[in-house]
Amino acid sequence: MATMTYGEAGKQALAEEMRRDPLVWAVGEDLGRGGVFGQYKGLVEEFGPLRISDAPISEAAILGAAVGAAMTGTRPVVEMRFADFALCAVDELINQAAKARFMFGGQARVPLVVREPMGMWRSSAAQHSQSLEGWYTHIPGLVVVCPSTPADNKGLLKAAIRSDDPVVYFEHKNMWALEGEVPDGDVTVPFGVARTAREGRDLTIVSWSATVHAATKAAETLAGEGIEAEVIDLRTLWPWDREAVFASVAKTGRLMVAHEAVQVGGFGAEVAATVAEHCFKDLKAPVKRLGSPRVPIAYAPPLEDMLRVTPEKIAEAARAVVSES
């Protein structure tokens, strides 16, 4: 075990995979200078500018070229800089990368990782703050990953690079400096296996990405009040670990889903609906969702803070769920 940051863990994952496989390469704006968040710092010195490649500010070409390069036998890791900017390359990801294998009858594989730094961070306002992970779960063909810890950022990025599917990989900008223990050696984390961040018997809180930490903090507060919340970190949204959620709900009888994304149409709705379909008899209380109101993210700190799914809001909602039964 070594202690490192979330950002460092991602860098180490990429470096290890590039050492292991000469067909892995990374491309995006400013990568030669270490990337906009420093998550590529030092890599160009080791791997050279062909494999840690700068790119013009042409998101559609970055992603479109990566699709062509992936179909031609390489494994590109694409840096989108901000998840919001990946919207300039929606055709390339949704119509091309996600569909090529199917619509060409299995002739194509698109082993591509699209890194999309997501979420609210330092008053970045409406075009640099979004959490759009739920959108991508709607698209057949894509894998959607949302790591919440340094260990998972390393293990899941390695798994994403080795995957033959196109993977949309969301790193939360607020966690770059988050420190944690990371296992030594070549450790990957499989897709579709949730992590129990905290055990509890009274309520299941399902979350992912940075909101896992808010949920864990809320659970600590609730524990002081005699409510034991189980926090499940999905880690990957497609595929997602339904069995782990079902098992937890069977134990606790109560479900809450918390995420930073807009609540309406968020992935929490999918989790809630699936539990309602499969675990109705286990439920002692109505399922609760907690996400952002359906408004754009504002610049001014009080307006931004107003939208956050905080430990306080999670704890308050959890108390209400528990008191309903």
Partner 1 sequence: MPVPATQVPRNLDIDRLLSHHRLMWRIRAFEEAALQANTEKLVLGAIHPSIGQEAIAVGVCCNLNRDDILSSTHRGHGHTLAKGADATAMMRELLGREGGTSHGKGGSMHIADFEVGMLGANGVVAANIHITAGAAHAIRLRGENRVACSIFGDGAINRGPFLEGLNWAKVFELPALFVCEDNGFASTTRTAAMTGGPGPAARAEALGVPAVEVDGNDVMAVDEAAREAVAAIRAGGGPRFIVAKTYRLTGHTAADAAPYRPKDEVDEAWRHEPIARLAQVLADAGVKGAVLAGHERDAREEMDAVYADAKAAPWPPLSRGYEDVQDAGDPRQGAF
Judged by the rule CB under 8 A, the positions of this chain that interact with partner 1 are 23, 25, 50-51, 53, 55-56, 58, 60-61, 64-74, 76, 91-92, 95-96, 100-108, 140-143, 163-165, 191-192, 236, 238-239
**Is 259 an annotated catalytic residue?**
no
| Residue with smaller CB distance to partner 1, 124 or 188 | 188
**Order of strands across the sheet that contains 255-262:** 195-198, 229-233, 203-207, 255-262, 288-292
Q: Tell the smallest beta-carbon distance from residue 75 to partner 1 (Å).
A: 10
Q: What's the CA gap between 79 and 69, in Å, rounded?
A: 15
The strand ranges marked E within the chain are 2-5, 24-27, 52-53, 75-79, 113-118, 143-145, 167-172, 179-182, 195-198, 203-207, 229-233, 236-238, 255-262, 288-292
How many CA atoms does the CB half-sphere of 276 hold within 13 Å?
13
| Residue with smaller CB distance to partner 1, 140 or 302 | 140
| Residue with smaller CB distance to partner 1, 3 or 58 | 58
Q: Tell the smallest beta-carbon distance from residue 212 to partner 1 (Å).
A: 21
| Residue with smaller CB distance to partner 1, 164 or 181 | 164
Q: Tell the smallest beta-carbon distance from residue 288 to partner 1 (Å).
A: 25
Q: Tell the smallest beta-carbon distance from residue 277 to partner 1 (Å).
A: 12
Q: Is the dihedral of CA 322, 219, 137, 84 positive or negative?
A: positive
How many CA atoms does the CB half-sphere of 137 hold within 13 Å?
20
Specify the 3-state DSSP secondary structure of 154: helix
Specify the 3-state DSSP secondary structure of 180: strand
| Residue with smaller CB distance to partner 1, 38 or 192 | 192
Amino acid at 291: G
Q: Tell the smallest beta-carbon distance from residue 96 to partner 1 (Å).
A: 6
Q: Which residues are marked as active site?
A: 128
